[in-house]
Structure 1
Amino acid sequence: MDSNIVFSPSSIYVVLSLIAAGSNGPTLDQMLSFLRSKGNGQLNSFASEIIILVLTDGSQSGGPRLCFVNGVWVDKSFPLKPSFKQIVDNVYKAESMEVDFETKADEVNSWAEKETNGLIKEVLPPGSVEWLTRLIFANALYFKGTWNEKFDSWKTTNYSFYLLDGSSVPALFMTSEKKQYVEAYDGFKVLRLPYNKGEDNRCFSMYLFLPNTKDGLPALVEKVGSELGFLDRYLPSEAVQVGVFRIPRFEISFEFESSKVLKYLGLVLPFLSGGFTKMVDSPRASELSVSKNIPEVLY
């Protein structure tokens, strides 16, 4: 592991569910198996619940500002089928637009920048829209919350932040003397930082996992990724008094090609031609395939 990693499982799940809604045959069967679902009805229902119950903006009721937006851009030569467009509009609350990719590819990035208050300026890097591109699925997630217990800005100061290679760099750290939701486990500690709740009473928190040793991060990441239910088992629920308490201020920008990961995990048929005839109204629908997906997430 030679870089930071940030991604949104909910975003990836919703996009894959939407693609599955327009799939058929062996491609659909493989996607349902991959997403552990019995059918499109179950997928659509669960994705709709995530969008409505979890990813709905709470700023008007005093909670976090949360914006989760979906978009489907289709070339004018491949119009969406009415049945699929209805699912796009009503179930996934996604915008669907017919465009000329040769002249309007930058609309996707403009849309992401507008819908995320300027935080995400580019979801499609240069060169990602090719002359063969006929359909783009994109989503963007914007979250801004206020801590239940704010950190005093005047207490923020420089300390050493240790890197994976053993060296250290100066970094700004926030600190507090108040009780914290923190618990120590075998080899690591977990901190929970709750956000203010709104009138809808939804609870959002940030969890920080810290290995006890300076070189313990790779082993901890391996545990998180290999032990089923690991994250759910190690969540502190009680605020306790702490001694020296510091958290670095940080910002993460991360880009990856998710198609490589999905293929490695066994989802290969969507990346081959065919399987999307339920999606577009064109005699060339059988030529469609997923080429790649390169989401960028800023935190």
Structure 2
Amino acid sequence: MGASSSTRGNFEHFSRKFQPTLCRLRIDENLFLSPASIALALSMCAVGARHETLKQMLDVLGFRSIEGLIKTSEQVLNAFSVVSQDRSIQIKLANRLYVQKSYQVERDYLELIQKSFSSDVQFEDFKIELTRTTSKINAWVEQQTDQLVNRTLLPDDIPKDAGLIVISCVYFKGTWESKFNEELTDYNATFYETNGTTSKVTLMHQREKFLYARDKSLRAQIVHIPYKHNSKDVQLVFTIILPKAAAPIHRLEKKFTSRPQLLQNALKLENTKSRDLLLHVPKFKIESTFELKSILQRLRMKYPFDQNIANFTGIVDTQDAGSRLLIDKVIHKAVIDVNEQGTDSDAVRAFPASEAITFEGPWKKHTTVFRANRPFLFYIREVRQNVTLFAGKFGNSEILSS
């Protein structure tokens, strides 16, 4: 293969395809995921793939060579590491491959996974000790995420003839640079859902200067809400893309799927201006678990899951194993909690809507209203590293932070 033209932004290629596709398949659901974490877990498999299996995985991930993929994986892992060292932010990442113990994994592959991905391969007996293996995987995820992510798997999630299971889990909690005033929170706000019904949602409020844009081609408002950070090497933002009331979110998702460049442009800070905003954002908690095989196949990553075609001879020698190794499951779990402080809040009391959103001051005439009281897409990005750490959709009020 030729030299890679990939840079650290090339997981963005995967992210821009993956998240809109998932959203369109789960139209009415709240979603939260880490495209970067998923890409890292898949990369751990890709570096052990060969021939057409490798080519297909590289194409979906957005690379021309294993060398380019490894380089970017190391850079993205470093971005996670830099963010995790900031005391204002909690971020926990746990990726691991679980292989049927009857396989003999190549030594070079084990060394590569440890060196470039700061991970390892765990050998388990899926055939005889499935329940015990499931418990061990769950315990490992809980340990890696300080008990913040639990019950990742049930025994029925793993087939007894499984050869390779990919686990990708991540947890995030951040503190706003400008916190929302809890006394202004409206616990009885109306939320207009995609299907035309309304529900009640807890809506946080604040007035402040934020980077803002109104994108006419997307028929959407965009705001970048910064997170507090202690390190000069970290700049995290929470970006909301809010379609107009007359522009359903599925149309926006369709645009991003067919023209990924539109999403890339929408996320750029340089395409915004600082504006005085009356900002209204739901208070919510989302916990999402995905089995990603069907999504990846829709993106044309098919060979790694095909028992007649899959080639992972960089991981195991097929002749030694006695059977072909393929990916049986790709499981991803992510949790996000969005509230006034960026941390758990105990106080819950109702305010009449008229009290909750009253702001005084001479500059009131010059403010722009950003009211996220209908479905929207959101992204958490590390700007300095140019990495989309997380992406999600808030579409209804079925799961809320309390």
Q: Scaled by the length of structure 1, what TM-score is found?
A: 0.91
Shift of 1:209: 1.0
**Shift >6 Å, 4+ stretches:** none
Q: Which one has more relative contact order, counting CA pairs under 8 Å at least 6 apart?
A: 2
Q: Is 1:73–2:98 an aligned residue pair?
A: yes
Q: Distance in 1 between matches of 2:153 and 2:260?
A: 33
Partner of 1:275: 311
SS in 1 for 2:207: coil
Task: List aligned pairs for 1:172-191, cutoff 5 A.
Answer: 172-186=202-216, 187-191=219-223
Q: Among the aligned pairs, what percent are the same residue?
A: 26
Q: 1:48 aligns with which of 37, 52, 74?
A: 74
User: Alpha-carbon deviations, 1:48-81, whole Å to 9, x = none?
Assistant: 11101x1115354444222222212223211322
Q: Does the Cα contact within 8 Å between 2:82 and 2:234 map onto a contact in 1?
A: no
Q: Is 1:238–2:270 an aligned residue pair?
A: no
Q: Distance in 1 between matches of 2:60 and 2:89?
A: 32
Q: Distance in 2 between matches of 1:23 and 1:286?
A: 15
Instruction: Rate the CA distance shift 1:58–1:5 in 2: closer, same or farther, 3 A.
Output: closer
Q: Is 1:165–2:195 an aligned residue pair?
A: yes
Q: 2:332 aligns with which of 292, 295, 299?
A: 295
Task: List aligned pairs for 1:52-131, cutoff 5 A.
Answer: 52=78, 54-58=79-83, 60-101=85-126, 102=129, 103-131=132-160
SS in 2 for 1:136: strand
Q: Distance in 2 between matches of 1:256 and 1:136?
A: 13
Gaps of 5+ in 1: none
Partner of 2:44: 18
Q: Distance in 2 between matches of 1:247 and 1:159?
A: 11
Partner of 2:163: 134
Instruction: Rate the CA distance shift 1:188–1:42 in 2: closer, same or farther, 3 A.
Output: same
Partner of 2:287: 253
Q: Distance in 2 between matches of 1:219 and 1:131?
A: 41
Task: Read off the aligned partner of 1:195 and give its amino acid letter.
Answer: Y
Shift of 1:270: 0.7
SS in 1 for 2:33: coil
Shift of 1:232: 2.7
Q: Distance in 2 between matches of 1:176 and 1:251?
A: 19
Of residues 230-239 and 91-100 in structure 1, the stretch that sits farther from structure 2 once superposed is 230-239
Q: Distance in 2 between matches of 1:88 and 1:285?
A: 23
SS in 2 for 1:94: coil
Q: Distance in 2 between matches of 1:271 and 1:24?
A: 14
Q: Distance in 1 between matches of 2:60 and 2:190?
A: 43
Task: Read off the aligned partner of 2:273 and give its amino acid letter.
Answer: E
Which one has a larger percent strand, Structure 1 or Structure 2?
A: 2
Shift of 1:141: 1.5
Q: Does the Cα contact within 8 Å between 1:61 and 1:200 map onto a contact in 2?
A: no
Q: Distance in 2 between matches of 1:148 and 1:17?
A: 34
Q: Does the Cα contact within 8 Å between 1:23 and 1:279 map onto a contact in 2?
A: yes
SS in 2 for 1:191: strand
Q: Distance in 1 between matches of 2:181 and 2:322?
A: 57
Q: Distance in 2 between matches of 1:41 and 1:122?
A: 35
Q: Does the Cα contact within 8 Å between 1:124 and 1:295 map onto a contact in 2?
A: no
User: Alpha-carbon deviations, 1:220-259, whole Å to 9, x = none?
Assistant: 222222223222322454331124x311111223333321
Task: List aligned pairs for 1:27-42, cutoff 5 A.
Answer: 27-42=53-68
Q: Does the Cα contact within 8 Å between 2:167 and 2:331 map onto a contact in 1?
A: no
Shift of 1:204: 0.9
Q: Does the Cα contact within 8 Å between 2:92 and 2:171 map onto a contact in 1?
A: yes
Instruction: Rate the CA distance shift 1:154–1:79 in 2: closer, same or farther, 3 A.
Output: farther
SS in 2 for 1:190: strand
Q: Distance in 2 between matches of 1:214 and 1:125?
A: 41
Instruction: Rate the CA distance shift 1:132–1:42 in 2: closer, same or farther, 3 A.
Output: same
Q: Is 1:199–2:231 an aligned residue pair?
A: yes
Matched pairs, number: 297
Partner of 1:153: 182
Partner of 2:35: 9
Q: Distance in 1 between matches of 2:331 and 2:92?
A: 20
Gaps of 5+ in 2: 1-26, 337-402
Task: Read off the aligned partner of 2:306 and give its amino acid letter.
Answer: L
